[in-house]
Amino acid sequence: MNRRQLVQFFAGLGLAASLSAPVIASAQEKPIKIGATGGPHAQILEVVKKVAAKDGLAIQIVEFSDYVQPNAALAAGDLDANSYQHLPYLEAQIKDRGYKLVNVGYTITFPMGVYSKKVKSLKDLKNGARIGIPNDPTNGGRALLLLQAQGLLKLKADAGLKATPLDIADNPKKLKIVEIDAAQLPRSLDDLDAAAINGNYAESAGLDPTRDGIAIEAAKGPYANVIAVRLADKDKPWVAKLVKAYHSPEVKQYVVTQFKSSVIPAW
C-alpha cells in the first residue's frame, strides 16, 4: 500500500469512527433512577421497566424502606423520579419542606384498612383500646378519617385531610391513638388492639384488606398515588415516556391480576 492509499485508509477509519460515535453515546446513556418503597410499588415498576425499554427508556429502580427519603433523594438530584406516595402526602412535603417537585401522573390506590390480631370486629374494641395510626400528617389524618367513617370517633368540622389526634372532638370509647411510623405498623399489631395500615405496607406484610381487614376505606377517595419528578424536569421527553409506560395496558393487567382488590389502578 503506497503513501496515498495509507492516508485514504486512515481517513476512512476516522470518518467511520465519527459516524458511529452517536450510536455509542446513545448506548452508554444512563438509565433514569426511580425511587419506590419495597413491595407493590417496586414490583409494578419492574413491569413498567420492561414496557419502557420497548420505547427506548432505560430505568433503574431504587428501593426505600420509608416515606421520607424518596422525596429527599429526588429533591437532591439522587433520583430522577419516584413512585410511592399519594398526592396529599406529596403536597404536604412540598409545602413543609419547600421541595420543587410535581405530580406528572397517577399510578395506583391502596385502600387503607384497619387490622387486628385481638378482635374480629370494631364493635369488639374495649374502652381504652390502643389504636395505631401512621405518624406522618397526611396518612395519620387519613387513618383518623377512616376511624371516623366507622363511627369510632368524631373529628372537628374543620380538621380536613391532615387531621391529628388533637382534632378529635368526640371519643366515646376513650380510644388511645398511638402514632407510629407507617412502615412499622404491621409489626406493631401484637402490641396494639388494632391499627390503620397503608395498603402497600399491609400488602408487604401479607395482609389483604378484603380478607384480613376489620374495616376498609371506601374505594373512591383523594389518596391516589402519583409519579413525582423535579419541577425543572416535568416537560422532558423521558417523563412522557415513563408515564406512557406506567399507563400501559400491560401494567394495568399486571396490577389487576397480581393484587386483586388490594391495589387499584388510578388512571
pLDDT at 188: 98
pLDDT tens readout for residues 210-267: 889 999 987 667 889 999 999 999 999 999 999 999 999 999 999 999 988 788 899 9
Question: Which three cell numbers, joined as nine digits, stand for 173?
Answer: 370509647
Q: Which three-class secondary structure state does DSSP give residue 87?
A: helix
User: What's CA 72's distance to the chain center, in Å?
Assistant: 14
Element (H, E) at 225: strand 225-230
Q: Which residues pair with 113 in a beta bridge?
A: 197, 216
Higher-confidence residue of 19 and 182: namely 182
Report whether pLDDT(24) > 60.
no
Of how many residues is the chain composed?
267
* Nearest of 231, 227, 244, 252 to residue 85 by alpha carbon: 227
Report whether pLDDT(15) > 60.
no
Average pLDDT, the chain: 90
What is the domain partition of the chain in residue ranges? 30-110+223-265, 113-216
pLDDT at 13: 52
Percentage of the chain beyond pLDDT 90 is: 76
What is the fold, at CATH topology level, of the domain defined by 113-216? D-Maltodextrin-Binding Protein; domain 2 (3.40.190)
Cα separation, 72 vs 156, whole angstroms: 32
* Nearest of 76, 140, 71 to residue 102 by alpha carbon: 71
pLDDT at 8: 58
Angle at 112 between CA 107 and CA 117, to 5 degrees: 140
203 pLDDT band, cuts 50/70/90, is confident
Cα separation, 139 vs 201, whole angstroms: 12
pLDDT tens readout for residues 80-126: 999 999 999 999 999 999 999 999 999 999 889 999 999 999 999 99
Whether 30-110+223-265 and 113-216 share one fold: the answer is yes
pLDDT at 14: 53
Report whether pLDDT(40) > 80.
yes
CATH of 30-110+223-265, one of 3.40.50.300, 3.40.50.720, 3.40.190.10, 2.30.40.10: 3.40.190.10
pLDDT tens readout for residues 155-174: 999 998 889 999 999 999 99
